[in-house]
Amino acid sequence: MIRYALRCRDCGHGFDGWFRSSADFEAQGARKLLACPVCEGHGVEKALMSPAVAAAPERVPRTGGAVTSAPAGEAAELYRQLQEMARKVRAEGHYVGAGFAEEARRIHYGEAEGRQIFGEASGQEVRGLLEEGIAALPLPPLPEDKN
Ligand SMILES: [Zn+2]
């Protein structure tokens, strides 16, 4: 059994799914047997993961003057920043597909050139990376991804 980190294209909900194989995942998707537990949409795909490899600390959010801490507003701002990061990663990063975990590991241990990569990883692979101290982040869906 393989565990995949999945994402709903419609509402952005992230969840895990178990499959017999990668082919099983494709088959279930093609037959619309996969559905988002939140909105029941069939636009379910493997979540794209990105490690924070070789990523310089980005701008710290600037706060000018008085700041009100409205939790909903903060969450929206954080989400906007994540989307910005995702856009940057997709534009400048190297897509490594299903080889993500392996490549992130090679970069981490200096066996490959340090660079920003993104690709697909299962929840199990991501846990393995995190346990080794390799940061991997789920990329949020982008508005332009939605049809
Ligand atoms: Zn959904």
For the chain, 147 residues long, give each residue's pLDDT as a single digit of tens: 788 889 998 998 988 888 888 889 889 988 988 999 999 999 898 887 666 544 344 444 444 444 444 456 677 777 788 788 888 888 888 888 888 899 999 999 999 888 888 888 888 888 898 899 988 887 777 777 665
133 CA distance to ligand 1 centroid (A)? Answer: 31
Contact between 13 and 45 under an 8 Å Cβ cutoff? The reply is no
16 CA distance to ligand 1 centroid (A)? Answer: 13
Contact between 9 and 141 under an 8 Å Cβ cutoff? The reply is yes
10 CA distance to ligand 1 centroid (A)? Answer: 5
Among 85, 80, 112, CA closest to 96: 112
Indicate the pairing of strand 2-8 with strand 14-19.
antiparallel
Listed residues: CB within 5 A of ion ligand 1: 8, 10-11, 13, 36, 38-39, 41
